[in-house]
Structures are given as C-alpha cells and as structure tokens.
Amino acid sequence: MNKTTIKDYYLKFFWLFLIGAVSNIVVDITQTTVPEFLGEMVSVVSSRTGITYNDIASIISKILIAAGILFVGRMLLRFAIFSASGRIEADIRHRMFLKAERLSQRYYHENKIGTIMSWFSSDVETIEEFTGWGSIMIIDALFLSVVSVYKMVRLDIVLTFITLIPMAALILWGNEVEKIWSDKWEERQKQFDRLYDFTQETFAGIRVIKAFVKEAQELKAFSKVAKDNADKNLEFAHSAIKFDVYIEIIIGAAISLVMGAGSYFVYRCSISDPCILLGHVIDLSPSKLITFIGYADTMIWPMIAMGQILQMHSRFKTSADRIYKFLDEEEEIHNIENPVVLEDCKGKITFKDFSFRYPDGDDHSLSNVTFEIQPGEMVGVVGKIGSGKTTLVNSLLRLYNIERDKILIDDVDLMDLDIKNLREQIAYVPQDNFLFSDNIRNNISFAKTNAEMHEIREAAIFADVDENIKDFAKGYDTMTGERGVTLSGGQKQRIAIARAYIKNAPIMIMDDSVSAVDMKTEETILNNINEKRKGKTTIIIASRVSTVAHMDKILVLKDGRVEAFDTPKKLLKTSPTYKKMVYLQKLESEINE
C-alpha cells in the first residue's frame, strides 16, 4: 500500500478547493476596495468644493455592492471548503474501518480498543478541522495579505515596510512555537487514549464493578485519569492563549506604529515639508492615510489567523501521523496471488503436525497436532482449560498466518485458499456468543441478510430458542441491547447458534456453545444438529462429556497436544483424560441425584 498523505485528498477534491480559492480571491479583492471607498469618503468630506447627495450616494452604493459580494463570496467559500473537509473526514473514517477489518488479531492484541476509538473520533475530527477551517484561514490569510500588501506598497512603500516588520517577526517566532505545540498535542492525545481505554474497559466490566461494590474505587481511579487528561489539555491551552495574547500585543503595536508614523508624515506634508527616507519622498494626505490604515486593518485578520493556523497545524500534524501509521500498518492476513476458491466444499479437514504460538506468547499453544476429519463427520473436542481447543478452531478461520502445508481443507492448503471464500465455508459460533445491538431477527439473519422470516424461525427452532423469542413482547423485533445484555446467557448462546445455522455452511464450529443451557435443551440442539446437518462437517468444543458422547469421533487435547482422536467408546480405553472426564461427570451426576 502506498503511503497515505493528506495531499491525496486535496487532489481528490481539488475542484471544491478551487471553487473556494476563486471565491476567496474575489472576496479579498472586494474587501480591499472598502478602504478605498472610505478614503474617497474622507476626500469628499474634506473637499472645499462642497458635498453633494450624489457623491455620498455613489460611495454608499459601492460599499453596499461590496458587502453583497462579500456575503455571497464567503458563503460559497465556506460551502466549498466545508463540503471538501466533510468528505475527507468521511473518506478517512471509511478507509480506517475497512483497514480495521483487514488487520490481524495480533494487531488487536498489541493495541487497545479505546486507543483505536480515539483515532476514529478525536484524531479524525482534528484532521477535518484543519482541512475545513484551517484551509479557509490559509487561503483567506494568504490572498488577503498579498492583495493588501500590494495596495499598501502602491500607497507608500516605507509605511508598508514599517507595518510588515512585526509580521515578519511573528512568522519566524511562530515556526518555533509550532514545534512545541506539536509535542504538547501528542502528549495530550496519548493521555486522551488512556482516558478512552479506561472508560471503555470500565463500561465493559460494569457488572463486575457493581457485583464487587467497587463504584467508589473506580470513580476515584477515573477522576485521576480525567485530571491527567485535563492537565494536558490546560497545558496546551495555556501555551496557545499566551501566543494569542502576544499576537494581540504585536497587532496593537503595529497599528499604533502605523497611525503614529502616518500621522507624522501627514503633518509634515501639510506644512509642505515631506519626509525623505532612503531617497523616497513620503507624500501622504489624510485620505491616503485613512485608506492605508484600512489596508493595515485588513492585515489584522491574517495575523490572528496565522496563530490559529499554527495551532491547528500542530494538532493536525500529530493526529495525521497517528492515522497514517494506522492506515499504513502492514496487513498480515492477505491472499496469495491467484488464490484457490472452493466451489463445492465437502468439509474434509486435515491437520498435519501443526504447531502454533501467539505473536506475543512465549510457549506454543498447540504442538504437533495431527488428525483428519472426514466430510460429514460430527467431531467433539474436549480437554482441560488452556489445552488449546479454541486456538485449534480459530486457526481454521485464518485469523493468523500459519505454516504452509499444515492445515488442509478438502486437501487444499489453508494458506492457498481465498480468505473470503474460506470463511464463507465455515459457520462459527464463538465462545463469547457476541450479539449486535439490534433486534433478534437481524442478529439471526446476520450471515444471510436477505433471509425470509420462515428461514429465521427455522434457525431459531433449530437452536431451540423460538419459544423463548415468542414469549417476548416484541417477539423477533426485541432489541438485544449492547452485546445482548437484555438476554440470558442461554438465550444468547442459542441465538448465536441460530445465526450460524442459517448460513448453511459445509463446516460448522461451535465453541463451547451449549454450556449455558440445561441438559434437555442441549439434547434438543444436538439432535437437531444430527438430523439437520447430516452430511455436513460439524465440530463442537465442549466442557461436558455428555455434549460430545454421541459424536462420530472425539479429539482429546492435553497441554496443546493430541492425546487421542477416536470414537467415544474406544477413547475410554485409550485416553486417560477422557476416561477421567467421564468418571467425574458420572460422579457429579450421582451426587446431584
């Protein structure tokens, strides 16, 4: 991927920026005619030949026409530039979202969700501010300065030079101040990331906080993080305000200097003794001085704008660098050239001496795993917590890159398969049973957005959750809340199963997906799997032996290695782990009885 820069967006929306620039040129030229009208007014008023109504009406009409042009021009300027900045913001967010979808799980292990969310909100908004208001200020200040200086030079070059001395000093000083602001803004954004991280983590764990009555403790911790964030904001604001104050002082000094020097030059001209500086005769009348002061007054805005532009640019530079880094992050998970597309997946799965270690892990989660699942088989996976069960099934989804020729689907190397096509062949029920903040109908039909209502109900019946849904006041239109917070654990699990079933994929993976339901419901779901998914490969990770007792085969994992892979009956003789699990569950059942 080519390096991302803001220049690409200026070129992409060049026509909008061009409209804004042309409008601004017209506005600035018109704005600099107002001092000329004022000078003309002074000249008419001080004229000894007398003032007529037509003279005054002519000048006022010119001013009104100029005001109309300024109004229309500034409206067009803002419409064009803000349209461009809004589209830039939307385009960047769109690209960031697509990028976030393509990045591997490793990236999310190394970067917190709160930090990434701050990039999507605060940093993107900073870029929008600079490309919007910043662009307007740059264009306006630049053209207005050029036009004003040109007209000031035509009136008197010496007085113009006196006026520009403070501005030159301000530009040199501002260049150094911007570097300081950039560092301060980066510190501020990092603290903002920490605030986002803390807030996101707190809301995600709000049930735990309430259960342990730790609200006061969390509030105290949040207050500290919020105060640190406020301190960094105030630190940046203080430096920005100081610079604004200095600008106001310089502007006041410049205007005072112009008025003082200009008045003196007018006085010398009035007594027929004009000043001569560097061989230049200063011939300045009252009307010319008023006109010159009007031009100098138009220079006030560019000087103020420069301070704001420097602040915006320092913030923009820091935020843009953070977003560029995100957009230019290497995408580890991608297709090879000319990937294989499975047209008619049978569901055969082969592991050959497969080992896996997480990017940030020290030890292997899986080591030398070898087994083969035939098309249409129902296979259970059991083992102690941390034995690598979830890692095993996640590797089939190509969430991480793996060694070549270690996992095969229908005898095709997993690394050679088209990623999208591969994931289309697998219906996955994750361990956390994640549901979207939407209604139940849309959650079930997530994998098949055009599903008919009878298909959605069929999936719910398959997962034995249809009766529960009908008991809700709004039925399938019931909102699940964030992450399915309004539903019980068992209801979430069954809706997640229904969502996977409706996909009708050749391979279905259920990661401990019936642990929160009662034995009767579990039996119903397993019977439905056996009946409805006959001929399709199904892998079920289970914590209860009863869940996989009637599978075709069971894979027993111990410490990341395959202890046994065989039928349930044979495992009682060949697998100590499985035998112990059966014994413990039988003992538990007897105790409960």
pLDDT tens per residue, range 187-206: 777 787 788 778 877 877 77
Burial (CB count within 10 angstroms: exposed 0-12, middle 13-18, buried 19+), residue 534 = exposed
Tell me the residue type at 147: V
Task: Of 46-55, 379-388, 477-486, 561-570, give the lowest mean pLDDT range.
Answer: 46-55
pLDDT of residue 2: 42
Encode burial over 331-359: b for 16+ CB neighbours within 10 A, e otherwise: eeeebeeebbebeebbbbbbbeebebeee
CB atoms within 10 A of CB 180: 13
Superfamily assignment of 6-327 in CATH? ABC transporter type 1, transmembrane domain (1.20.1560.10)
Residue 348 or 512, more confident = 348
Phi-psi region of 167 (alpha: psi -120 to 50; beta: other; left: phi over 0): alpha
Backbone angles phi, psi at 185, to 5 degrees: -70, -35
d(CA 391, CA 563): 16
CB atoms within 10 A of CB 552: 16
Cβ(127)–Cβ(6) under 8 Å? yes
Residue 408: name the closest of 357, 332, 346 by CA.
Answer: 346
Read off the pLDDT of each residue in 439-465 and give the average, rounded to a whole number.
88
3-class DSSP state of 291: helix
d(CA 584, CA 576): 12
Q: Where are the domains of the chain?
A: 6-327
Q: What is the pLDDT of residues 91-130, one digit of tens each?
A: 988 888 888 888 877 787 777 777 788 888 888 888 888 8
pLDDT of residue 3: 54
Read off the pLDDT of each residue in 304-315 and give the average, rounded to a whole number.
76
Read off the pLDDT of each residue in 527-544 and give the average, rounded to a whole number.
88
Residue 376 or 253, more confident = 376
pLDDT of residue 48: 54
Q: What is the pLDDT of residues 60-88, one digit of tens each?
A: 887 788 888 888 888 888 888 889 888 99
Backbone angles phi, psi at 277, to 5 degrees: -125, 125
pLDDT of residue 1: 35
Query: In whole numbers, what is the pLDDT of the chain averaged over residues?
Result: 81
pLDDT of residue 508: 92
pLDDT of residue 175: 64
d(CA 372, CA 352): 8
Flag whether pLDDT at 47 surpasses 70: no
Band the pLDDT of 409: cuts 50, 70, 90.
Answer: very high
Read off the pLDDT of each residue in 138-153 and give the average, rounded to a whole number.
80
Flag whether pLDDT at 381 surpasses 60: yes
d(CA 113, CA 327): 16
pLDDT of residue 49: 57
Chain centroid offset of residue 448 CA: 27
Flag whether pLDDT at 183 surpasses 70: yes
d(CA 564, CA 570): 10
